[in-house]
Amino acid sequence: MLDINFIRENSELVVTKSKQKGYDVDIAKLLQIDSKRRQLQTEADNLRKERNQLSAALKGRRPSEEEQLKGRKLKEDLAVIEDQLKPIEGEYMTLLKSVPNLPLEDVPVGYSEDENVVSKVVGSPRKFDFQPKTHHEIGEKLGLIDKTRAAKISGSRFVYLKGDLVRLQLALMNFVMGQLTDTSLIEKLISENNLNIPIKPFTPVLPPALIKTEPYQASSRLNAEEMTYRLAQDDLWLNASAEHSLCTMYWDEIIAEADLPIRYIGYSTSFRREAGSYGKDVEGIFRMHQFDKLEMEVFSIPEKGLAEHKLLVAIQEHLVSSLGLPYQLIKKCTFDIGKPNAGGIDINTWFPAQSNYRETHTADYMTDYQARDLSIRVKRLEGPLELVHTNDATAFAMGRILAAIIENYQDKNGHIEVPHVLVPYMNGQSHI
């Protein structure tokens, strides 16, 4: 969430920037409630101070009748104020959390995803001498994808992945883990992009797939209606993406500056309800209720947050380029970057059977918006505690990148060539 002091001092800017993101927030009401809240807090603090002073004066002796009456009156008055303050605090927090993060100055202003900007195109779509098939046609024919039996067991948008497609997914995982833990690669990408940040590899993590309500809500990533499955009996939510249980890892903790940046590469099975996507991407494995995902998460000092974001995008481009897949780099507009994000980049990868680029990657920069509610702070070498900055970015969403590989690497016989960087992880197998 945003700093209330910033909102008080920049209320018109917050209204304008919120509208650019599609949020019609009532800042006037928030500030009115905030003023009432502070007034009641001051009254409560004054009453507590009086009670403490009275207790100190009575130390070691019995109170007089007048002092007893005063003590009871202070207690009753404080209880009244606290009863008034409780609903005000609740309304205040609801309004404050409804305010989105403000977009960075270089984020294009737009009011639909159609106003996203293609900032780079890398690679040329392959020219086929036959009509390319969809990934699900090829996968089903080769016995790699079985959605019919999965639907019988689990319902729509579930799948059995089988055989060499499973091995290809594991090859992707091992490839990414090897790349992101390679200090020389991180150094190369930092140098190529002129980034003034430490040369530090990523630490692999297998995070929990279940998250408690409180930290999930604090992360600004819980979307109960459209995205997330809930286990109501246990007050737990199924992870909707690997970064959701990574960004919450240091909830209510203080990190030493010397330990930052913390860079994680997490691998997790994720779950999404996909409400609102009825009839969209029902074929194949592009949009599933259950999918596996490799996700990067970074915690940094504030002044390095934007550079960490640029590093994550450079890593994404390196990974997609290593697979030889044509892609577009998309600068997302204000409407499309998301509530907690100050900036966002997508990578759209070419799908020949659709003759279209489809989103396979996203990179989100949250500044301190996420860390404020999660209370994740850094103890600076000099100066006071500060909130960390957080970033997350897709390494590979497995279903989507497998689909892209199948379509781009198919041959006229319906077989799949294995991208050369993955062959060593497939024990030398070059075709499926």
Which residue type occupies 113? E
* Mean pLDDT along residues 401-424: 97
Q: How far apart are CA 313 and CA 296, in angstroms?
A: 10
Residues in the chain: 432
Q: Is the dihedral of CA 285, 287, 292, 295 positive or negative?
A: positive
Q: State residue 410 phi and psi, 5-degree precision.
A: -75, 155
Tell me the per-residue pLDDT of 226-274, one tens digit each, with 9 for 90 and over.
Answer: 788 999 889 999 999 989 999 999 999 999 999 999 999 999 999 998 7
For residue range 30-59, what is the model confidence (pLDDT) as tens digits?
Answer: 999 999 999 999 999 999 999 899 888 888
Hey, what are 234's tokens?
Answer: 């246990």
- The CA-based diameter of the chain, rounded to the nearest angstrom, is 101
The DSSP call for residue 410 is: B
pLDDT tens, position by position, 344-395: 999 999 999 999 999 999 999 999 999 999 999 999 999 899 999 999 999 9
| pTM, entire model | 0.94
Strand partners, 122: 327
pLDDT above 90 (res 11): yes
How far is Cα 16 from Cα 340, in angstroms, rounded to an integer?
A: 16
| Region of 414 on the Ramachandran plot (φ > 0 left; ψ -120 to 50 alpha; else beta) | left
Report residue 231: phi and psi, to 5°. Answer: -100, 90
Q: Is 56 helix (H, G, I), strand (E, B) or coil?
A: helix
* Element housing 226 (H / E): none
CATH topology (fold) of 4-97? Helix Hairpins (1.10.287)
Domain coordinates in residue numbering, the chain: 4-97, 113-426
Two structure tokens written together for 46: 């004054």
188, 190, 191, 195: CA torsion to nearest 10: 180
Cα–Cα dist 218/107, whole Å = 25
CA separation for the pair 337, 310 (Å, rounded): 16
Burial 29-67 (b: 16+ CB within 10 A, else e): ebeebbeebeebeebbeebeebbeeeeeeeeeeeeeeee
Fold type of domain 113-426: BirA Bifunctional Protein; domain 2 (3.30.930)
Cα atoms in the 13 Å half-sphere on the side-chain side of 186: 19
The backbone torsions φ and ψ at residue 268, rounded to the nearest 5 degrees and listed phi first, read -150, 145
User: Percentage of the chain surpassing pLDDT 70?
Assistant: 98
pLDDT digits (tens, 9 = 90+) for 284-300: 899 999 999 999 999 99
